[in-house]
Amino acid sequence: MEGAANGATTGAWQRAVRALELLAVDPAGLGGLWLRARSGPVRDRYVAALPALPLGLRKLHPAIGDDALFGGLDLAATLAEGRPARARGLLADPAALVLTMAERCPPGLAARLAAALDTGPGHSLIVMDEGAEPAEAAPETLTDRLAFHVELDGLAHGDAPQVQLDPAAIAAAAAGLEGVVLSPELLADIPALAARLGIDGLRAPLLTLRAARALAALDGANTVSAEHLAEAAALVLAPRATVLPESTAEDTPPDPPEPDEVPEPPDQNDPPESDASEEEMPQQLPAELLLEAVAAALPPDLLARLAAQKARRAGPSSTGTGTKRKGNRRGRPLPSRPGRLDGTSRLDLVATLRAAAPWQGLRRTQARTPRTLHVRAEDIRLKRYEDRADRLLIFTVDASGSAALARLAEAKGAVELLLAEAYARRDHVALVAFRGEGAETLLPPTRSLVQTKRRLAELPGGGGTPLAAGLQAAMALAEQAQSHGMTPTLCLLTDGKANIALDGTASRGQAAEDAQRVARAARASDLPALVIDMSKRPQPGLRALAETLDAPYVPLPRADAKGLSQAVTGALTD
């Protein structure tokens, strides 16, 4: 098993180097590559080979502005010459664009870069993705346009030898690329294979064909062979697979022939069997080679990647982050906007000078007093930033009855499991317990694992079930968290058998009515919620409460701490 693992890692590095070699042959036609790897010596060794690309390297960052991409006013030249002078942008000439921290790329920048790849003068894009979680990744708008998806996480430094590309061979292949042709018999195999792998669209098959032509050019061939097509499919289609093809499952022996079936003697007029097999070879052999090559290169964690892709498409809250907030102090920089200095906003000096520069000649002519620089109120530009609010998970736990200790133990374990990922997901947790005649906050919002264990060491239990009071206390905590800039989410853990009303009286009917009223108020305040039914049998009343909250309903009669944590994470990412 150890030898097989070493062989798999060695094959992954070989495919990564091969992708870089093909990209050097046809950088514009193949679009680029998506490099998903954390910072380390393996990634550094791979990145060190990027200068071998025939296009010059130009680095981009997620906060780059339109003036740097498309060009704009050259502030220094304009002020020096006294007339508007324009500067060329990074997208003006063909280049190998290296986008760092691509997991933070905003949608606007992704759309601009995608348009540059589609209609630009021949760019190639290298997407550097350092996402810490599977749900954090570069925008699909960009990755779908790149032929190669390379992942280096999990490779040891010893499994990644130095990358050495042959400049002479690459130049010769690039020169002969236009003369490489593809036989029509092979064209139909790639779209059919992409459909079997669950790949939508025609961009991936077209990129596969371009990669096959580049492989043939490297071998000095004028025609793409089945082996070239199989290797190209393994490099381009395998990382994009969304389903496992049937042929990659465990092989089952074919059914034995029926005893009554006797093969018919061959007709004397039929052509020889060898000639028929030679005629069928071009249609049958490529499909078999393609499927075997792609199956060998399929990611081992394909299902996990599909779940992470679903989480990315679900929205920002599914990745553990809260809602977006705009401000003028901290966060990700946004383009500046015109405004007035009011003592709280921050001046964007460069943007202000850029807005004033084109008018200096006219203003000097109109001014009565000579001045070197004329800046007016309409030139003022203010800085803007955008950050995300921390998310708060408020566990509202039923601590009443004989099963209270078990439920509280499960909640404690779930909170500790979620806290283990809190630093990466920026989550805070809080715990509200309700029993007897009211509810209390046992754990205020925190990310401290030590404090959580200390507060949850001894939890009270027993008494009635004041469900409405628990919901009310959770709402108050959520409002307090929102005032501090957090995005709260309510996780209700109960058996649904409410019997204590808000006024403290023992009445099941009034308790259920109060719980519904508080739930309607929570829904009106747009408080996201999750209802977990811990009773031995699902309770219709609790399902109705979940519908009032507009929240997912999860029945877990025998959930442990791990199951509860998985249920919370899964419900929040659906």
| Topology given in CATH for the domain delimited by 391-573 | Rossmann fold (3.40.50)
Distance CA(92)–CA(70), nearest Å, equals: 7
Whether the pLDDT of residue 214 is over 90: the answer is yes
Query: What is the pLDDT, as a whole number, of residue 307?
Result: 45
Distance CA(164)–CA(21), nearest Å, equals: 9
Query: What is the pLDDT, as a whole number, of residue 408?
Result: 62
Query: What is the pLDDT, as a whole number, of residue 92?
Result: 87
Q: How do the domains of the chain map onto residue ranges?
A: 2-165, 176-245+284-314, 323-386, 391-573
Same fold, 176-245+284-314 and 391-573: no
Higher pLDDT, 209 or 556: 209
Whether the pLDDT of residue 221 is over 50: the answer is yes
Task: Return the SS3 of 446.
Answer: strand
In this prediction the pTM is: 0.56
Element (H, E) at 398: strand 381-398
Q: Over the chain, what is the mean pLDDT?
A: 76
Which of 6-20, 42-56, 277-291 shows the lowest per-residue confidence on average (mean pLDDT)? Answer: 277-291
- What HEC string does 77-118 produce? HHHHHCCCCEECCCCCCCCEEEECCHHHCCHHHHHHHHHHHH
Joined together, the tokens standing for residue 334 give 């946004």
Whether the pLDDT of residue 159 is over 70: the answer is yes
**Can you tell me the mean pLDDT for 471-489?**
88
- What pLDDT band is residue 253 in, cutting at 50, 70 and 90? very low
- What pLDDT band is residue 247 in, cutting at 50, 70 and 90? very low
Query: What is the pLDDT, as a whole number, of residue 99?
Result: 92
Whether the pLDDT of residue 251 is over 60: the answer is no
Whether the pLDDT of residue 15 is over 90: the answer is no
Distance CA(22)–CA(24), nearest Å, equals: 5
Query: What is the pLDDT, as a whole number, of residue 135?
Result: 59
Quick one: what percent of the chain has pLDDT higher than 90? 12
State pLDDT tens for residues 268-318.
454 444 444 444 444 444 555 555 556 555 555 544 454 445 444 444 443
Superfamily of domain 2-165: P-loop containing nucleotide triphosphate hydrolases (3.40.50.300)
Tell me the backbone φ, ψ of residue 230, rounded to 5 degrees. Answer: -65, -45
Give the max Cα distance, the chain.
Answer: 112
Query: What is the pLDDT, as a whole number, of residue 527?
Result: 87
Query: What is the pLDDT, as a whole number, of residue 340?
Result: 81
Which of 241-250, 393-402, 535-544 shows the lowest per-residue confidence on average (mean pLDDT)? Answer: 241-250
Strands (E), 193-340: 321-327, 332-338
Whether the pLDDT of residue 33 is over 90: the answer is yes
Quick one: what percent of the chain has pLDDT higher than 70? 70
- What pLDDT band is residue 423 in, cutting at 50, 70 and 90? low
**Can you tell me the mean pLDDT for 531-540?**
79
Query: What is the pLDDT, as a whole number, of residue 421?
Result: 61
Whether the pLDDT of residue 410 is over 50: the answer is yes
Q: Closest Cα to residue 387, out of 65, 101, 104, 59?
A: 104
Distance CA(457)–CA(172), nearest Å, equals: 71
Distance CA(108)–CA(126), nearest Å, equals: 18
- What pLDDT band is residue 156 in, cutting at 50, 70 and 90? confident
State pLDDT tens for residues 101-151.
888 888 889 999 999 999 878 899 999 988 766 557 888 889 999 989 988
Higher pLDDT, 559 or 275: 559
Query: What is the pLDDT, as a whole number, of residue 572?
Result: 57
Distance CA(463)–CA(399), nearest Å, equals: 8
Query: What is the pLDDT, as a whole number, of residue 273?
Result: 47
Query: Within 13 Å of residue 254, how many CA atoms lie on the same side as its CB?
Result: 3
CATH entry, 176-245+284-314, from 1.10.287.70, 1.10.3720.10, 1.10.8.80, 3.40.50.300: 1.10.8.80
Q: Closest Cα to residue 434, out of 395, 398, 462?
A: 398
Q: What are the residues whose beta carbons fall under 8 Å from the beta carbon of 400, sequence distance 6 or more? A: 434, 435, 436, 461, 462, 463, 464, 465, 466
Higher pLDDT, 42 or 192: 42
Distance CA(568)–CA(570), nearest Å, equals: 6
State pLDDT tens for residues 323-355.
555 554 556 677 788 888 777 778 888 888 888
Whether the pLDDT of residue 207 is over 50: the answer is yes
**Can you tell me the mean pLDDT for 443-469?**
75
